[in-house]
Amino acid sequence: METKITHIAVVTIPAFSHQASIVEFCKRLVHFHHNFHVTCIFTTIDSPPQATITFLQSLPPNIDYIFLPPINKQDLPKDVPLAVQIQHAVSKSLLSFHHALKSLCSSNNPLVALISDPFANETLEIAKEFNLLPYIYFPPSAMTLSLFLHLPTLHEEVSCEYKDHKGAIHIPGCLPIHGNDLPEHLDDRSSLSYELFLERSKRFSLAYGFLVNSFSAIEGERVSTLVEIGNKPVYLVGPVIQTGAIIEPKESDCMMWLENQTPKSVLYVSFGSGGTLSEEQVNELAFGLESSGQKFLWVFRAPNVSANALYLGASNDDPLQFLPDGFLERTKGQGLVVANWAPQTQILSHKSIGGFLTHCGWNSTLESIVLGVPMITWPLFAEQKMNAVLLTKGLKVALRPKFNDNGTAERKEIAEVIKELMLGEEGNEISQRIEELKYAAVAALKEDGSSTRALSQFISDIENFLRQQV
């Protein structure tokens, strides 16, 4: 008897970190459940990034993909945050998304469910039109999902700006958090960013359930609270991280450099797939790395006044020209600076790496946990400050430097935090704790692990729903 194939679609946004996470989730889904076929639908701005095209070349045969007609970046609002531009791009893509969904639903193997990125959850309204079971795949933490689900209530409970709220803000199931550590979209309640964030949060009620890129050892206690807030099933299916190398590690200069370093001696410094620092902060970080005396591998981009300026397009500038005069010569035996990009998972898994100075993007955070690398948190935007709170106050696997009133971490502070992580007693305790989480992450992904069971429960819930419809 021929096995019936269950066809689902996923839709994501024009941001590589979100695309990589949801595609890796799909790969894991079809690996454990061979009767599922997935079609990934990508909204795009200008054209698909080369990183995405390369990443998609290694898909298994039961995953297809569609690029919707690109939205011209010139047609998006100017001088607004990146998240607002992405939201407008998704809105402008809804008509072509509708056509794509209609085509897939009328195929020989019609769709039964749609899984949406949280920043594309307008598509869930279209899913209802085609009687598709609607889900949200949530790439960040369960703590951040708590914020999304609770925000409509928080909006009513707190009348002032969150950063001006006296004391900590309490979000159900979360660590107490100060308003300054909420996503920057919430900084100004009169802004378009806030309005869109609030609207998006209210649309979470359209979802039948939530698939979250986290695992029980770090956030399992939040699930029951999340279910109570949203009155929907929550599946912790992570850690979902990028596993495929875009280039062969042996071809990378930085991997060859790491081969010549002693175990756990190198601090890896990277701000994700597009994060940038101001020119002043670049100088302070450079001098802090140098004066720490510790080995470092720094993935360096040209400075920019906007922390996420490069997520929708690369700079043509040679970044190394923006380093302080003489820095490369003075640190030649101490560190290596790599322009723009490096194979992160291969670097973090190398025996020479002893620490990770990170922007706290959730993909990078999970990679560091899975590979057992202690962290220095340097959040830039989005929910990254919340992640920093979770890592430092909750899980206690990271240190966080202090920033002055101008929002700059000074060189002396940077050097001291680096030395504490790499050489200090607190750094040693952090190393022990993150080693325990590393093994917990591996256990969660085993065939009988908590995340694999959660994925199976998600599949069972879909199949039970379909049986009830017959």
More confident residue, 55 or 389: 389
- Rounded CA separation 241/181 (Å): 25
Question: Given this model, what pLDDT does residue 251 score?
Answer: 53
**Active site positions, annotated:** 18, 117
| pLDDT tens digit sequence for 285-301 | 999 999 999 999 999 99
Helix H segments across 273-336? 279-292, 327-330
Pinpoint the residues of the chain covered by CATH 3.40.50.2000: 6-238+446-469, 249-442
Of the listed ranges 9-13, 62-66, 241-245, 370-374, the one predicted with least confidence: 241-245
| Two tokens, residue 103 | 């085509």
| pLDDT tens digit sequence for 109-144 | 889 999 999 999 999 999 999 999 999 999 999 999
Is 6-238+446-469 CATH 3.40.50.1100?
no
Sequence letter at residue 44: T
With tokens 């939040």, the residue in question is 222
| pLDDT tens digit sequence for 284-340 | 999 999 999 999 999 999 998 876 655 555 556 789 999 999 999 999 999 999 999
- Rounded CA separation 303/275 (Å): 9
Question: Given this model, what pLDDT does residue 310 score?
Answer: 53
Q: Which long-range contacts (CB under 8 A, 24 or more apart) does 460-464 make?
A: 461/209, 461/233, 462/6, 462/8, 462/112, 462/113, 462/133, 463/6
- In this structure, CATH architecture of domain 249-442: 3-Layer(aba) Sandwich (3.40)
| pLDDT tens digit sequence for 375-424 | 999 999 999 999 999 999 999 999 999 999 999 999 999 999 999 999 99
Edge-to-edge strand ranges of the sheet holding 266-270? 335-339, 295-300, 266-270, 353-358, 375-377, 398-399
